[in-house]
Structure 1
């Protein structure tokens, strides 16, 4: 088994990484391989895992991820730092079984006809910093609305608990292969009108944004890309998925409850 460890540099994290490496070194069939791993173990938070995802996205079909959190509970980091021994034991006591989550495919087409492709685990947003964004929104190549506002956010089901939720979007279970689009401060008055509500589209459908500005910002999982002279941006569910080792993988609604509601006994 080829294993890579990705981590941040917090003191607690470095202690966990040292313990993890020591435990894995005792396993005869483990090879530390940061270039072509079978399993990527991340130690830190969700940001650490997202960074690891983008580092290995070209190999995403052959990699399984395991997340160890060294802070508050995240949505991708199920194991606690004190459970590293249990995690290593579980990794070698059973056949691998994966939980698969959908990814967002982003296709940026320029006025010159050039095409760039991106993958997102959480979301992609389109914004203008100091001016209003105006864009035509298409669903399956059919005009849906003309948008005016700060921007738009298109998220995966796993990303629905992030930026999308802060915009009033719905939390979607990751087994649903659906895309969600949420508006960012849309302008709605007698002249300009949008749906003014998040929308969720089916797996075989796609969303196209045709901006009416020659310069805007596009983000992929929070990483900013300055875009000029874009003709359109297509968003759809990717044929690729991200896989997490199912052992120890926390029930999704438990993660939602822990992250946003907390212990139900806290109020008593």
Structure 2
């Protein structure tokens, strides 16, 4: 089996990475950063997000597993002290896989140009500086004209991230859907928005159409870029999914409890 190990880059994570490579050297495992079958992320959820984007063109061929060298994460749920145990489990193939939905973001520009991105957590849209005003279209029907700081569309697993901070609902990753949450919407006698998060099933789409400014700060997970001359931004539940290795039972709601209530 071919494998690769990514690290957050701090001393603790780098040392553990070299230690695990040493463990794997005793078995019939090939280190291959170009075409791995399993990717081990050492650091935190952010490190695994970076690994996901590095290997997103191989999602049908790669499985991810995370070791946290800081706090327990939703994607990084193994401890450094369990590294050797994890190596044995991988070598012996003693694991199942869990598939999580992803978010597809299509940005269309002038001149019929477009770019497509996949997100594991979320995509956010904010103005480049002026008022943020967009028409929200659901399944080709106008839903509302939004005015405020911005909008966030998240995956089910990403609802525990920025979406939660915005007051969105937590969704189990087995639900193939996406969630749209508002950032400080303007609601008065003149302007109105729904004022609540929207959960949309996989056969629905949401399109944001600029009303005034066409330059937007758009984020895809941890990456935020200024996009100019944007004509529309479309969100769909992606056809692709990300695969995580599961070696033991660690229910989603237990992760929520351990991360936000007590560990």
- For structure 2, the residue ranges without an aligned partner over 5 or more in a row are none
TM-score by length of 2: 0.97
Inter-partner Cα distance in structure 2 for 1:241 and 1:52:
15
In the alignment of these two chains, the number of paired residues is: 262
1:95 and 1:87, CA in 2 relative to 1: closer, same or farther beyond 3 A? Answer: closer
Deviations 1:2-57 (A, max 9, x none): 00110012121122112211111111x20000001000001000111000110111
Inter-partner Cα distance in structure 2 for 1:174 and 1:191:
38
Deviations 1:188-211 (A, max 9, x none): 000000001101011110111111
Corresponding position of 2:73:
74
Inter-partner Cα distance in structure 2 for 1:194 and 1:235:
19
TM-aligned CA deviation for residue 130 of structure 1: 3.2
TM-score by length of 1: 0.95
Inter-partner Cα distance in structure 1 for 2:249 and 2:62:
16
Task: Answer yes or no: is the 8 Å Cα contact 1:108–1:117 preserved in 2.
Answer: yes
Aligned counterparts, 1:105-184, within 5 A: 105-184=104-183
Corresponding position of 1:266:
none
2:47 partner SS: helix
Query: Which moved further from structure 2: 101-110 or 12-21?
Result: 12-21
1:187 partnered with 2:192: no
Task: Answer yes or no: is the 8 Å Cα contact 2:41–2:64 preserved in 1.
Answer: yes
Corresponding position of 2:237:
237
Would you identify which runs of 4 or more consecutive aligned residues in structure 1 move more than 3 Å? none
User: Considering only aligned residues, what root-mean-square deviation do their CA atoms show, in Å?
Assistant: 1.1
TM-aligned CA deviation for residue 225 of structure 1: 1.5
Corresponding position of 2:2:
2
Inter-partner Cα distance in structure 1 for 2:210 and 2:121:
22
2:234 partner SS: strand
Task: Answer yes or no: is the 8 Å Cα contact 1:157–1:177 preserved in 2.
Answer: yes
Inter-partner Cα distance in structure 2 for 1:143 and 1:125:
20
Corresponding position of 1:49:
48
Inter-partner Cα distance in structure 2 for 1:255 and 1:129:
36
- For structure 1, the residue ranges without an aligned partner over 5 or more in a row are 264-268
Aligned counterparts, 1:214-225, within 5 A: 214-225=214-225
Corresponding position of 2:198:
199
1:13 partnered with 2:23: no
1:179 and 1:144, CA in 2 relative to 1: closer, same or farther beyond 3 A? Answer: same
